């Protein structure tokens, strides 16, 4: 599943994140402590660790949802390395438009916006012609088994699994060089999980760097090139003689 490219797409250095609970007496919650991590093009890095260890916090910090307390997150953005910890808000928006895609577990639904438009939006924002955006959205919705009768409806009334698939279609519609996936198969049945595995493999074949959290061990083992253990702050390869190593928790 990986190719030979080793272009570094994200270099995390000594990243720490402490939450301060301002409405609870200013209590400090240290979550990430001096994390070092390198993410390469064309490879899938899985964040692993027990519940509450900080996997989602790390993923969100890589998307600049959270500002690091200290350390650096150097991202390859349009040929240069940009530190998200010190980037301007304008630069962060540009990174999100062109370089990093993020698929959260839950779709943020906008009332009255159709499924097709929700999926097309990232391409439209980049000025891609409507017929091209529509063709790509249609293909992804078909692949993800969203019935055509739902495409013109706003996804607010959809089931959890349908909403998650719309969100995945939206995340995969553009070939972001870096794709962050937070439990993309959490609400999906096996058939649709397999579609997501295939989409991830296709992305890796296009040299996209994927970072994900997958509680489903089958999905994790099917896509992981490396596992980053958030508890131990260590990165290890999962490939031994081309056989992924099973992680049982």
Ligand X SMILES: Nc1ncnc2c1ncn2[C@@H]1O[C@H](COP(=O)(O)OP(=O)(O)OP(=O)(O)O)[C@@H](O)[C@H]1O
Closer Cβ to ligand X, 116 or 180, answer by number: 180
Residues 29-88 binding ligand X (CB under 6 A) are 29, 31, 49, 51-57
Closer Cβ to ligand X, 19 or 78, answer by number: 19
Residue 5 φ then ψ, to 5°: -65, 140
Taking the C-alpha atoms of residue 66 and residue 63, their distance in angstroms, rounded to an integer, is 8
225 DSSP 8-state letter: S
DSSP 120-184: HHHHHHTT--HHHHHHHHHHHHHHTT--GGGTTS-GGGS-HHHHHHHHHHHHHSS--SEEEEEST
Q: Are 166 and 146 in contact (CB under 8 A)?
A: yes
Closer Cβ to ligand X, 2 or 193, answer by number: 193
Closer Cβ to ligand X, 31 or 133, answer by number: 31
Closer Cβ to ligand X, 128 or 247, answer by number: 247
Radius of gyration of the chain (CA): 18
Site mask, ligand X, residues 3-22, x = CB under 6 A? ----------------x---
Smallest separation (angstroms) from ligand X to the CB of 78: 29
Taking the C-alpha atoms of residue 103 and residue 180, their distance in angstroms, rounded to an integer, is 6
Instruction: Number of residues interacting with ligand X: please give it, by CB under 6 A.
Output: 11
Q: Is 28 in the site for ligand X (CB under 6 A)?
A: no
Smallest separation (angstroms) from ligand X to the CB of 147: 30
β-bridge partners, 35: 15
User: Binding residues for ligand X, per CB under 6 A?
Assistant: 19, 29, 31, 49, 51-57
């Amino acid at each position: 599943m990986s190719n030979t490219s080793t272009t570094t797409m994200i270099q995390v250095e000594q990243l720490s994140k402490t939450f301060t609970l301002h409405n609870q007496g200013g209590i400090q919650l240290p979550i990430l402590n001096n994390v070092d991590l390198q993410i390469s093009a064309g490879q899938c890095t899985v964040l692993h660790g027990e519940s509450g260890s900080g996997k989602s916090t790390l993923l969100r910090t890589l998307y600049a949802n959270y500002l690091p307390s200290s350390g650096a997150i150097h991202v390859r953005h349009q040929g240069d390395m940009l530190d998200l910890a010190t980037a301007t808000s304008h630069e962060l928006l540009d990174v999100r438009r062109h370089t990093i895609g993020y698929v959260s577990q839950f779709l943020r639904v906008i009332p009255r916006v159709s499924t097709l438009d929700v999926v097309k939006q990232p391409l439209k924002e980049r000025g891609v012609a409507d017929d091209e955006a529509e063709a790509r959205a249609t293909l992804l919705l078909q692949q993800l088994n969203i019935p055509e009768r739902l495409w013109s409806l706003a996804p607010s009334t959809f089931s959890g699994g349908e909403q998650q698939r719309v969100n995945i279609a939206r995340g995969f519609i553009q070939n972001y060089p870096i794709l962050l996936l937070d439990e993309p198969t959490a609400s999906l049945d096996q058939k649709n999980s397999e579609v997501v595995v295939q989409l991830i493999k296709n992305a890796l074949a296009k040299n996209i760097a994927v970072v994900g959290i997958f509680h489903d061990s089958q999905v994790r083992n099917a896509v992981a090139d490396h596992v980053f253990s958030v508890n131990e702050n260590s990165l290890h390869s999962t490939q031994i003689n081309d056989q992924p190593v099973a992680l049982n928790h």
